[in-house]
Amino acid sequence: MSVNVSYTPTNTDQRRADALVEFESRNEFYGTGIILEVQYQNKSKDIRKTTYDYISADYSVAWLEPSHFESERLDYNLVETLFEEYPRRHNWQSPNPLEVGHAISVQHRAPDTLGALPDNLETYRSYPNPRADMSERRWDIAKNPYR
């Protein structure tokens, strides 16, 4: 269950998802599919960079922990709730805007939440995420949001 992320500015070419559901056709809210990451061993994993890569590859991602499972089963309603609540629960001012217990859809992809954009628009347009096909003007605003 590896995802090619060689085109992103992070230092890895592949991300290995704990669980990956890929759709037959693209979903407007979730993108190409949904990735579930369960944080139980690799506590030092960089959630922000990993999320950036998955969203850039057009996958939505939910960060879970063992307590989200009841009797070794995951109630998908919980995952759906995490996706729905993200815009309300997200701490936009936090230095770590993503943490376990968050689920972020491809619709919520933004430089402020997921990290720096690549150096140039051509690289960004090479991302599989259809939202990466932006105009020069939007690119300039995204790269310099506070000017």
Question: What is the three-state SS of 108-136?
Answer: HCCHHHHCCCCCCHHHHHCCCCHHHCCCH
Q: Which tokens hold the place of 23?
A: 């759709």
What is the rounded distance in angstroms from the CA atom of residue 31 to the CA atom of residue 59?
Answer: 6
Question: How many angstroms separate the CA atoms of 145 and 129, rounded?
Answer: 21
Q: Tens place of pLDDT for every residue, the chain, 147 residues?
A: 789 888 887 888 999 999 999 999 999 889 899 999 988 776 678 888 888 888 888 899 998 888 788 777 888 888 898 888 876 666 555 555 567 777 888 777 665 556 667 778 888 777 777 777 778 887 787 777 665
70 CB neighbour count, 10 Å cutoff: 9
- Is 52 in contact with 5 (CB distance < 8 Å)? no
